[in-house]
Amino acid sequence: MSLKLGSSAFAHGNAMPATYTCEGRNVSPPLAWSGVPPGTQSLVLIVDDPDAPDPAAPRMTWVHWVLYNIPATAEGLPEAVTATALPPGTLEGLNDWKRTGYGGPCPPIGRHRYLHKLYALDTVLPDLGQPTKAQLETQMRGHVIAQAELIGTFARH
């Protein structure tokens, strides 16, 4: 069984409802996963937008959410999860707004892709403070044993 990531709010490759964006409540979507491989010690979730600022001429990847040390026994995250409601032991990194927590899609132009990436690690990472995505990926190197991805899209109206 391979690692799978999904949401009850949108299907892979489809539009994300406005609730999860700057045009709605700007809360995190519900996420569920299965197939966590044996030997997994922790999970990492990174949500980013590789189409920033313009899908016709992307220049950067904008990071929306960074979570690490999610317990391997966790099976998902509820809608609008708060820091205090994260699974015990889960730590937060910084998004590109320089804060922890979820920051929803708010693209300046065009329809963007939002990559929800779940990684199974063979270790529990040390407390890195509030790492950026790049700092976290450096610490993850050599420890990823499985990966799953859920893509949602959004364009402002």
Summarised one tens digit per residue, pLDDT across range 59-98 is 999 999 999 999 999 999 999 999 999 999 999 999 999 9
pTM over 0.75: yes
Report, as an integer, the average pLDDT of 27-33.
98
Tokens representing residue 74 in the block: 């966790």
In the chain, the number of structural domains is 1
With a cut of 90, say whether residue 157 has pLDDT above it: no
User: CATH number of the domain that 142 lies in?
Assistant: 3.90.280.10
pLDDT band at 113 (very low <50, low <70, confident <90, very high): very high
Beta bridge partners of 51: none
When computed from its CA atoms, the radius of gyration of the chain, rounded to whole angstroms, is 15
Report, as an integer, the average pLDDT of 40-56.
97
What's the mean per-residue pLDDT of the chain?
A: 97
Range of the domain at 105: 4-154
Q: Work out the angle at residue 137's Cα, subtended by the Cα atoms of residues 131 and 41, and round it to the nearest 5 degrees.
A: 95
